[in-house]
Amino acid sequence: MKADTLKKVFPIISITVVVFIAVTLLGLTDTVVRPRIEWQKEQKIQDMLKEIFPDMTEYTLEDDIYMIYSDGAEIGFAFLAVGKGYGGNIDILVGLENETTVKGVTIISHLETPGLGARVTESSFRDQFAGLNIDDVALKRDGGQIDAVTGATISSGAVVDAVRATAMEKVKSLEKRE
């Protein structure tokens, strides 16, 4: 009788032990590498901000808006915009040098088709944004100043529209704050 009960609960005990060991191991690994992962994320944001604002020396984050400083003087601000692309969301980092003018954009992540929509990440497309007035950030067929990537009108339009819409919204919220 006793041996029989033991036989029945042994599978439960064994799987409990295995899961317990697995969880302990994972907890340990996480404790070891977590600071490094946080540091990588921080580094990535800083690198991308630097790409748009090469003169940046420090930045602060206030309500989703990165304020960019060069030796204590404010030289612009940046924020995230999300475009609805062909393959999914396109995360874009947008930098403005003042309330009306775009400084630059970088694509943080996307799921567009390699060789087609994914070419919105190339500088030949992104460089078109620099120095534009926010109102002119639109595809040429919509009366704006931006050439779409050949064969990737949806991806290009998604980036352009997200940049314009989010820029207008963020500028408004900045003005309200002041």
Partner 1 sequence: MDKFRKQFIAGIIVANPLFVLALGLCPTLAVSVTIDNGLAMSGAVIFVLVASNIVVSAIRKFVPNMVRIPIFIVIIATFVTIVDLVFQAYIPALYETLGLFLPLIVVNCIILGRAEAFASKNPVVNTIADTLGVGVGFALALVTISFFRELFGTGSLSLFGVDLFTLPVLGEHPITIFILPPGAFLVIGLLLALFRRTGVTKSE
Q: Which amino acid is at 177?
A: R
Q: Interface with partner 1 includes 47 (CB under 8 A)?
A: no
> Which one of 33, 57, 123, 142 is in contact with partner 1 (CB under 8 A)?
33
Between 116 and 174, CB nearer to partner 1: 116
DSSP classification of residue 135? G
Between 21 and 168, CB nearer to partner 1: 21
Count CA atoms closer than 13 A to 91's CA, side-chain side: 6
Rounded CA-CA distance 96/167 in Å is 8
> Which one of 1, 4, 5, 36 is in contact with partner 1 (CB under 8 A)?
36
Supply the Cα-derived Rg of the chain in whole angstroms: 24
Between 34 and 172, CB nearer to partner 1: 34
Find out whether 132 and 102 touch, Cβ atoms under 8 Å.
yes
Q: Interface with partner 1 includes 113 (CB under 8 A)?
A: yes
Between 37 and 168, CB nearer to partner 1: 37
Q: Interface with partner 1 includes 19 (CB under 8 A)?
A: yes
The helix (run of H) or strand (run of E) holding residue 61 is strand 58-62
Find out whether 107 and 91 touch, Cβ atoms under 8 Å.
yes
Q: Which of residues 116-175 bind partner 1 (CB under 8 A)?
A: 116
Question: Cβ 14 to partner 1, closest distance in Å?
Answer: 6
From residue 66, alpha-carbon distances to 33, 46, 58 in Å are: 27, 10, 10
Residues in touch with partner 1 (CB under 8 A): 10-11, 14-15, 18-19, 22, 25-26, 29-30, 33, 36-37, 40, 44, 109, 113-116
